[in-house]
Amino acid sequence: MKFIVSSSYLLKELQILGGVINNSNTLPILDNFLFELDNSKLTVSASDLETTMSSSLEVESDSKGNVAVPARLLLDTLKTFPEQPLTFVVEDNNTVEISSNHGKYAVAYANGEEFPKAVELENPSSTTISGEILASAIGKTIFAAGNDDLRPVMSGVFFQFSPENLTFVATDAHKLVKYTRTDVNASQVAEFIMPKKPLNLLKGILAGTEEEISIEYNDFNAKFSFGNTELVCRLIDGKYPNYEAVIPKENPNKLTIDRTQFLNSVRRVSIFSNKTTHQIRLKIAGAELNISAEDIDYSNKAEERLTCDYQGDDLQIGFNSRFLTEMLNNLDANDILLEMSLPNRAGILTPNDGLDEGESVTMLVMPVMLNN
CB burial string 273-308: b at 16+ within 10 A, e below: bbeeebbbbbbbeeeebebbbbbeeeeeebebebeb
| Alpha carbon distances (Å) from 308 to 65, 284, 335 | 67, 9, 10
> Residue 153 has what pLDDT?
95
Distant-in-sequence, close-in-space partners of 258: CB < 8 Å, separation ≥ 6? 334, 335
As a whole number of angstroms, the distance between CA 96 and CA 181 comes to 48
> Residue 187 has what pLDDT?
87
- Enumerate the CATH 3.10.150.10 domain ranges in the chain, comma separated: 2-114, 126-166+185-237, 247-368
Per-residue model confidence as pLDDT tens for the chain (372 residues): 999 999 999 999 999 999 999 999 989 999 999 999 999 999 999 999 999 999 999 999 999 999 999 999 999 999 999 999 999 999 999 999 999 999 999 999 999 999 999 999 999 999 999 999 999 999 999 999 999 888 999 999 999 999 999 999 999 999 999 999 999 988 889 999 999 999 999 999 998 788 999 999 999 999 999 999 999 999 999 999 999 999 999 999 999 999 999 999 999 999 999 999 999 999 999 999 999 999 999 999 999 999 999 999 999 999 999 999 999 999 999 999 999 999 999 999 999 998 989 999 999 999 999 876
Strands 104-108 and 95-99: antiparallel
pTM of the model: 0.92
| Alpha carbon distances (Å) from 190 to 193, 210, 216 | 11, 24, 11
> Residue 372 has what pLDDT?
64
Give the class (CATH, top level) of 2-114.
alpha beta
Instruction: Report yes or no: 352 and 256 within 8 Å, Cβ to Cβ.
Output: yes
CATH homologous superfamily of 247-368 equals: DNA Polymerase III, subunit A, domain 2 (3.10.150.10)
Domain 126-166+185-237: assigned CATH number: 3.10.150.10
Strands 51-58 and 229-234: antiparallel
> Residue 208 has what pLDDT?
79
